[in-house]
Each structure stands twice: as C-alpha cells, then as structure tokens.
Structure 1
C-alpha cells in the first residue's frame, strides 16, 4: 500500500499561572508528552502561554522577557527526539520592540518565529500598549542567546514531506484578510492559530464558525488553541477552547472551562486537502496574489505513524447521520427536484407527464417529486399519467403497491402488460424466450420505454426518468431503455439517499394509507424484475446480489468522484467504516466490480437526458463528469 498521508495533530491548553514561567513550562511539557505518546506530529499551544496572556504591563519588564526566552530554550532541549512540531506562544524582545510570537520548535531547534500581524486595541484588548505588529516583517532573521540566525516573519512555512504548516495568532483570524489565507495559497495545508480569546455569551459559537469557515476557504486543516481559566480574571475570563477543523468540517473540540491540562487530537487527511485544491481552479488562480515570497523551512519527521486510526469515516457519506439534519436535507432535495421539473414544464409548455411505475424505490421517488411539482404549479394530478408495465418477473407485491400508490395519489393510472409484445419481439429477432440472458432482459426494458415515449407523444406530455445516481455509476440500466427519458429527476440522488427521501415523505408528508404503501415499498428488495418470478410468485432477481451492496457502491462513488481518492485509499477507508459488517475480501471484491463497471459503462452516461444536480456528486457529461468512454481501468485495479 502506498503512503496514505494521514497525520495526527493536536491542540492543547496547559494550565497556567499569570507570569509564572516555570509553572507554565512544566504543564506545556506535560501536554507535549501526551501528544507525543498519541503519535501527534504537531501540537499548537495558546497565545503567549509561556508567560500567560494577561501579564499586562509586566510584558515591559525585562525580567519576564528574559525568563520567557530561557523557557523557550528549555522547551527546545525538551523537544529533542520527540518527533513533534511544537507551536508555542511567547513574547520576543528585540530591544526596540516586543512581538507577540509563535515559536516553532522541532527536535531541539527553533525552526522559525512568526509574529502576530494584527494587534487588537479595542474593547477588552490593549495589546498595542505592549506589542508591535509584525505584519510587514518578511525575509528577516533574529539571534537569540542560545540560537543564531532564526527565520523571523509572516512569510514562513514549515514543510515535511506532504505536510506544510503555517501559523497565525488570535486576532489575525478576525481580520478581513487573515494571514492564513496567504499562507494557504503559498502551500500550507495545516494551519495553527495560537489564541487568547475571552469568553462572553455566544462568542464560542462565532469562533467555531470562523474556524470551520477558514478551514473551508483555505481548503486546509485549521487548529485553534485558546488560553484557559488560569489567566487573570480581573476583567474577563478565558475558557481554553480547543478546535480542530478540516475543510469546513469540525473534527474535534473540547469542553471549555477545564481546570486540568487539555489536549485534543485528530487525524488529518492531507491527500484529501491537496486533491481538493487541485480540483478548485479559483484556488489555483488566487495563488498569484500572495503579497510576499514565501520562505519554506524544511524538516523531517522521523516516522509517518499516526497511532490508532480513530478518524470517523461515515459509512453513508451521502446521508446525514443526525435525524434533524437528514430531514432538512430531504426537504432541500425535494425543493431542488421540484424547482427543476417545474422549470422544465413551464419552458416546454407541457401540462402532462408520463412515468412508468414499478412499485420500486426509484419510480416511487420520481412520482412523489412529480406530485409535489404539480401541486406547486396548481396543475391537476389527473395530468400525471402513471403507467404500470407488468412483465415476466412482476410480482403481486410490487404490482399491488404500484396500483395502490397511484390510486391514493389520484393520478391518471394506466396499465400495459408487455408480455405479448416481448414474445412477439423475441420471435421477430429469433430469440428463444427460454434463454434468460441479457437480450431477454433488455427487450423488456426497451419495450417499456417505447410505450412510455409513444404515450407521451399521444398525450402531449414528458416522460420523466426514474434512474438514480448509483445506477448511473454502475451502468445498471438498459441503453435506450430505462436509461432514456425526457427529463430525469433522480439522476444525482444516490440509492442510499433515495431510501431516506421516500421514508421522509412516508413519515412526514403523507396520510396514513399512502405512508403504509411507501413503507412497504421501502421493505421490498431492490430489483428490476426482468427475470421470471419463482413458482411461489416471489422476486428471484435481486440487484444487490448481482452488483453488490449499494451502501458499498455509494461509499466507493463518493470517495472516487468527490474526493478523487485512489483505490487503496478507498479500500483503507472502507475497511474502517464497515468494520464488523463486511469482511475485507468482500469489500475488495465489490470495489473491483465498481471500478470495472464505472469505467466500462461511461458510454451510457455520455448520453443521458437532462436532470438536476442536487449534491456534490453528479455524473452529468455536460456539467460535472467528463470522461472518455474508452478509458482503461487497469491502472486502478493494479492497486487492489
């Protein structure tokens, strides 16, 4: 397996006493030890934690400034052989000015010193009384008593392999253009903020918003470390908030107001961040506006270990885990689908639609969207022609659900049995109807589509497609059969989400009888019903027995298309997400199937009808996924 470029990082709040440097250094060391034991490669401490933030006019005392420098030297010695990059806050006395700085330490040395750019002097903050802004300092070095020629400035970036670290201090994040924006554009994919932000009502919520938003804007990991309750409470209180975010997602956070040393950690996915930047053209173009030339300070971690892989990997990345958020997502998707269909109907002047109803999930969802759209436009539901097309494999359960659903929704119900037409077609093309091969199956799918298209012509309506995103990814459709329609409302809804959308309508937006039918449809195995039913009238053809579990394929699809991950990385994540559910070889088997089918079935996706994008993943050949139909999958399969 290739290096997957995961890294554990830490944010820490040591217990401090105001101006008690020796006490503070002891607790900083304890936090470093904790982070090292958990195999974190970076630890970010709060602003000025060596001295404490609330020293006031003591920052003008040479005794305190000398003690801080000596303490930094002690931390350098302590860091020897720790294999942890340490970002610790301390004042820097350059005789003519004092700077509020982040000292970046690794393996016995200061790699660089980053000064605070924006010095607040409003409300409860009076920093300009003591500190000088470093926002214009670039291409400079300083000497300390124990180390000479230390890079100093806002133009510093610290690089080890694929990991590039940048740092800013507290108020910098609150500025209009935070230094971290320029640092990220210069290559930093992990950014630390050494902070001392006091607590007032609702400020924590705003901090979290700032941190997550900046991590998303910079397409980076963002570590925030706030100073804690050991600070002076003369006028304000500090809560010691610790946050770790990655590309807009909060990965770890602590409980504020703790009275012991606090260290939180999270595993960061550097490859994911870098791939997002590659995809984002705006990010690439913005790199030309960085106001200074970056200085990259190289160093080497001794190992790439990150300890226990405790990063949460969602088994169903398309489906929010939290019920309230999931319900909101369902409402929003329905709004997108109905708005899209409404626009198409208004543009064409059509007031009728035709849809094939099988009693399965996809056609049910499409029908629910149509009904909602017609209600929105004030069109009569009788203008919705719902057509059931029973064939060789249609079971009583799916047939009855289809009929009852259409009747309950008060649509114009129509039935065409396709058996006789298919038998005639078998005869016309010389196919033995006892041979249940792909021809046997596809004849039925194309016959159904032909009927729907002809009914649309006869009745002046649009055929609404029912296929979903997962089927498009796998090519699980008959070319010019169920593959084709005049507008496809489900085309970017994955199968795992289809289930929740139907359940949402059943439980939240339906009267009891309709809801019961929808719940029974949800309990029916996913099937195209193209092979004859059993002697007991049961379904014999279950899609997931043939192509594999849709929850696995949706997982593969998300990380292959949305994140651009390699097969070995997808495999690694899937093993973590589905541990105890699927064996490793089962996951590997279906991942190989996904890759083969995704590549070989592109020709179907190159000729799909219009349909709305509802999420971050879409396979439209016009707007999202541009792939040649004859691309080889061999390079991808080699990793498996």
Structure 2
C-alpha cells in the first residue's frame, strides 16, 4: 500500500533449553503478527533453544529437540503469509552454527549463519559455534530438506530484497548489512541476544539508527528478553525498528511477558533516496543468491505518524536548535558574498512582511559577523497601492530598532506614469497592475545598489520559489537571496527565535510582524486599512504546499501517495477534497514556473530540499504536468 511494508520485532518469553515450549511461544506471537498484516516478523538470536544454554549446546538431546521444534513450527504455519525469522543452533559439516532461519508458509526459505562469533567477557560463543563468514553457495540439511545456506543470501518479497545478520555482525567494522545494502537489499533483520548494562541500550539504539542511515534502509532489531537472563547476565528484550536514521518504533525493556514492536516502513521512499541523494550506486558490491518468498501480507491501513509540518521540528528545543543553525548558515553565506564582492552596502526592500523581515535580520547578523556597522545596511520601504499602515509602520520601526539606514520611496507616482506609458488602465487590477509594482521596486533597489556600491539581497522564500509566486524580473531577481532555502512554514519560527534573543522593543515589533497575514499588498487596501489581498486565500495554505513540496521533491512521492499522506497528516484540519484541490494547484504551479527557477539568483542551501538549477533541482522549463494531474484524478 503506497510502498509501505509492515514489519515486527519480537522478543518472546523464552524457556532456556526447552525448544518445544519456545516453539509454542513463537507460534502464539507469530499468529498475532499475521493477524496484524505483518509482512516480515523477526525473533531473537537462538530463540528456539535459548541463547544462554552454554555447554548444553553440545548435548544431542537439546539439538534434536531444536530440529523437532523447527518442524512443528513449519507445520503450524503453513497457512501464514508472514515471513518469519527465528534463531537456532544448526549442524553443518560436523560444525555447529548460530543461525537465522527464514521461514514462510511451512517452508524453509534459507539459513544465514552468524558471520562473526564473539569471544569476550560475557560471551564465549567460540566455545560452541563456528563463524559463518565466507560460507557461500552451500546448502544445509534440516530434517531431510535441502535449504540454501550461507552469508550470500538475499530474500526477495514484493519488489524489494532484504538481508539478515546476527547480533555481533552489526558490531564489526564492516557489517554484512553494508554489502547487502550495496547489492540492493532495502531491509535488514538482526537477531540478537545483547545483554543489558548501564547505558548500553543508548549505544545499541544509536548503532541501529546509524546503520539504517548508512544503508539507506530499514533496520529491524530484536534481542533476547528477561527470561533469557541467567547466571551473571541480564537481558532486556530491546526491540528497535529504524528507517534511514530515524527510529520508528522501540519497546520498553524488561517486560515480563515479552514484547512485539511494529512499524510500517516506506520502501518507495528508501528507493528514491538511494537514487536521488547519495553516491549509493558507487558502493562496492558482492554477488548474492536471491531467494524468493511466497506472496506476503499486504497492508490494509498504514499505521504511522505523518508530520504535517516536516520542515519544522515539533520539539521546541530541537526547533530552536534548528533555527539557530539555519540562521547561521544564511548569515555566513551572505557574509562570504559581501566579503568577496567588497560592496559598501547591502540593499533590500523592507515591506514589514515575514520574508523581508527575516532577510533584514540576516543582514544585521552578517554585519555583526564582519564587524561592520549596521548603517552598512540600506533598507528601503516602498509603499504602493496596497501598503497598509500596519506593515509600513512595522518596517520603519524595525529598521530604527536595528539601527540600519532606512529610506522611503513611494512608488505610486512612478507606477501611474508607467501605466500611462504603456496604455494600461489603473482601474484594471490585473497581473499588469500587480507586476508593475514589483518590477518598479526591484528597479529602485538595483539602481540604488549601483549608486551606493551595494548588493541587492533577495527575500523570496523556498515555498514561493516552488510555487512561482513572484514577479519575473521583479522580486524574483536579486544579487543574492538569503531566504531561497527556507520554507514559509519555518520563516515565522526563525523570526520568533531571533525575537526571543532580542531586546524588548525589537521583540515586540517582530512578534507583531509574525502575527500579520501574509500578503504581497499589491491590490488597493480596504477602507479601514485592512489587508484585502491575502496570499493563502489565493494559492492555498502554505502548510499544505510545504507538505506537498517536501514529499514530492525529497522522496519522489507521486500525487496519489502525497494526497493519502496529507489526508492522514491534516486529519481534522482539511478535508480530502480541499487538500486535493490545493495539491492540484501545487502541481500545476510547480511545473509551470520552472522557468523562474532556471534563472534564480544564488542563495544558501540550508536543508536537504533546495530548488537551485545549479544544484539540487534540474528540470526542463517546458515539462508538462499532465501525467501527475492525471494520476491525481
């Protein structure tokens, strides 16, 4: 369903050296996972026998019981579509191996031996087991059945491959999962029996999370639980599911009745990320045998949280940290350009709106970095037909509070002259009427920059660039655009973050700017000075457009999937038809306005999504949106 696959990490109740009881426990949990539409379920290392059997692994009684239990599990799972992976000690060529056994629908699909056997303080596995590293192109016999055996196995279900490694394999310098990933596997399953020590779970969690990021995949980890604890070691039953550097699900450790953790992994997203964002294709590969599974469970409903504001961290502390970093990137980029060009001033239009406010704050920080005067900033407020007293006064007050040079140039007279020159009726409030104002302002800024030996700083944000909501050769153009990588939903938070660190007067001005409706103020204002032209009434809510942008550009999601995700993310805020109508508009505008992005000015990239034609987004200006719109319909 939309590329999502449900997986489960299980830490069942384990009975040491009692395979039959363990088999019953595994089947009980396995049936529950199957009822929950789980495609693949993972159990811990040596869960059939128990990990801590020690020298009992040499006992024939124990091993015979393991083989009988495996057969019982197969017979009882014939009707289950869920692929499941269990750990068992198995003989091969008179050697004992610590193995991951992959099963489905009453059949052994393959057996992967543990590559690296620990021989350290708590674990003396080399006393009982042989390393499986290097075993390739072999078969193992289990109860008279020949089964693919080796570390060269990948398993194929749906349209993706998954790999298996066992506990210590992850802790080595080059885990097997890295080669599995390079050879195409998208999910990785680790059967483990990792004991718990103070703070060890943090390291283990970070290891799993990091490995999922390095492999650009999903990493599913299941460890032995409290009933495995014996003699000198205690186990917590840690289960973790991570996707490309983010932990999707994790259990509370030390549960007496075991644990099952589920997560729906976006396989389509992982595929797109590998193709679009990394040097994945250049990775060193190894040859693997592909073992095909039977048809597996498909999802009926996706159980996953979808952040409605993917550009904005929900945690306030994390959000402040993100704002500080973005602001520093913006200021550092501008400082480099100012230093390189040797300009006397930076020049920008200051409207009293969000974007120009953020640009001015960045300019101010840039001068602080360079040890220059705030008077080296020339802010120009250019009231026109739609300028309200609120935005006008906020622009002037902010410039005064920051100590920058402010000039006011009314554009109404120049625009009226231009209307006369080109024969346009000023009572016709069309695109000519609007764009004349934007281009007049840009001309003023450019000419002032020439006159003052300055550089024009652009103010348009990432969301406006995506939608093409700017006037070509007007506010579309500058000499360096500090906001080009910042989405609209984040602009308010950046200004608020600066406000929290400013003096009381400046903070009050900034907070009023934040609460002002977003508007280009190009249409005549109302009788009571109210803003009549509100951007989000025209093009739709920016929170929706930023959501669409994020999933389309970062993960290559198609419109139908984006619609599904948005309906889930904005449940109770917008209905499906409303979201669909704005998504349709987003797709149309995104395609139609590539020509503006093809010649956009330089500006700092601050996040993983950027639309510069020189870097992250290269698209033909004449591409049509028909296929995308057709799918949405």
How does the TM-score come out when normalised to structure 2?
0.99
- Contact 1:7/1:41, CA 8 A, preserved across alignment: yes
Alpha-carbon distance between aligned partners in 1 of 2:629 and 2:616, rounded to the nearest angstrom: 24
The reply on whether 1:290 has 2:279 as its aligned counterpart is no
Q: Which residue of 2 aligns with 1:623?
A: 615
- Contact 1:162/1:270, CA 8 A, preserved across alignment: no
Alpha-carbon distance between aligned partners in 2 of 1:281 and 1:535, rounded to the nearest angstrom: 55
Per-residue deviation, 1:94: 2.5
1:420-499 equivalences in 2 (<5 Å): 420-499=413-492
Q: Which residue of 2 aligns with 1:135?
A: 133
Q: 1:578 aligns with which of 564, 570, 576?
A: 570
Per-residue deviation, 1:163: 3.1
Alpha-carbon distance between aligned partners in 1 of 2:344 and 2:32, rounded to the nearest angstrom: 67
Q: Please give the per-residue CA displacement for 1:520-539, whole angstroms capped at 9, x wherever unaligned.
A: 11111100000000111110
Q: Please give the per-residue CA displacement for 1:338-365, whole angstroms capped at 9, x wherever unaligned.
A: 1101111111112311111001000000
Alpha-carbon distance between aligned partners in 1 of 2:362 and 2:3, rounded to the nearest angstrom: 42
Q: Which residue of 2 aligns with 1:320?
A: 313
Q: 2:171 aligns with which of 171, 174, 198?
A: 174
Q: Please give the per-residue CA displacement for 1:468-498, whole angstroms capped at 9, x wherever unaligned.
A: 0000000000001000111100001000011
Secondary structure in 1 matching 2:100: strand
Q: Which residue of 2 aligns with 1:301?
A: 295
Secondary structure in 2 matching 1:609: coil
Alpha-carbon distance between aligned partners in 1 of 2:329 and 2:521, rounded to the nearest angstrom: 30
Per-residue deviation, 1:86: 0.5
1:598-637 equivalences in 2 (<5 Å): 598-637=590-629
Q: Which residue of 2 aligns with 1:120?
A: 118
Structure 1 residue runs of 5 or longer lacking an equivalent are none
Q: Which residue of 2 aligns with 1:383?
A: 376
Q: Which residue of 2 aligns with 1:224?
A: 221
- Contact 2:113/2:150, CA 8 A, preserved across alignment: yes
1:214-613 equivalences in 2 (<5 Å): 214-280=211-277, 282-286=279-283, 289-291=284-286, 293-304=287-298, 306-507=299-500, 509-613=501-605
Alpha-carbon distance between aligned partners in 1 of 2:6 and 2:378, rounded to the nearest angstrom: 57
Q: Which residue of 1 aligns with 2:207?
A: 210
Q: Please give the per-residue CA displacement for 1:199-229, whole angstroms capped at 9, x wherever unaligned.
A: 1111111111111111111111110001011
Q: 1:31 aligns with which of 29, 32, 35?
A: 29
Q: Please give the per-residue CA displacement for 1:497-527, whole angstroms capped at 9, x wherever unaligned.
A: 11110111112x1111111111111111100
Per-residue deviation, 1:303: 4.4
Alpha-carbon distance between aligned partners in 1 of 2:83 and 2:312, rounded to the nearest angstrom: 36
How does the TM-score come out when normalised to structure 1?
0.97
Alpha-carbon distance between aligned partners in 1 of 2:204 and 2:417, rounded to the nearest angstrom: 70
Per-residue deviation, 1:60: 1.1
Q: Which moved more, 1:226-235 or 1:10-19?
A: 226-235
Q: 1:192 aligns with which of 186, 189, 193?
A: 189
Per-residue deviation, 1:283: 1.0
Secondary structure in 1 matching 2:358: helix
Per-residue deviation, 1:17: 2.1
Per-residue deviation, 1:594: 0.5
- Contact 1:80/1:108, CA 8 A, preserved across alignment: yes
Secondary structure in 2 matching 1:580: coil
Alpha-carbon distance between aligned partners in 1 of 2:185 and 2:20, rounded to the nearest angstrom: 33
Per-residue deviation, 1:300: 2.6
- Contact 1:526/1:542, CA 8 A, preserved across alignment: yes
Alpha-carbon distance between aligned partners in 2 of 1:477 and 1:276, rounded to the nearest angstrom: 30
Per-residue deviation, 1:281: 5.2
- Contact 1:114/1:152, CA 8 A, preserved across alignment: yes
Q: Please give the per-residue CA displacement for 1:21-77, whole angstroms capped at 9, x wherever unaligned.
A: 222222211211221121111110110011111111111111111111111111111
Aligned residues: 632
Alpha-carbon distance between aligned partners in 1 of 2:252 and 2:120, rounded to the nearest angstrom: 28
Secondary structure in 1 matching 2:52: coil
Per-residue deviation, 1:302: 5.0
- Contact 1:18/1:232, CA 8 A, preserved across alignment: no
Alpha-carbon distance between aligned partners in 1 of 2:294 and 2:31, rounded to the nearest angstrom: 19
Alpha-carbon distance between aligned partners in 1 of 2:162 and 2:91, rounded to the nearest angstrom: 24
User: CA RMSD of the aligned region, Å?
Assistant: 1.1
Alpha-carbon distance between aligned partners in 2 of 1:79 and 1:192, rounded to the nearest angstrom: 20
Secondary structure in 1 matching 2:228: coil
Per-residue deviation, 1:236: 1.4
Secondary structure in 2 matching 1:620: coil
Structure 2 residue runs of 5 or longer lacking an equivalent are none
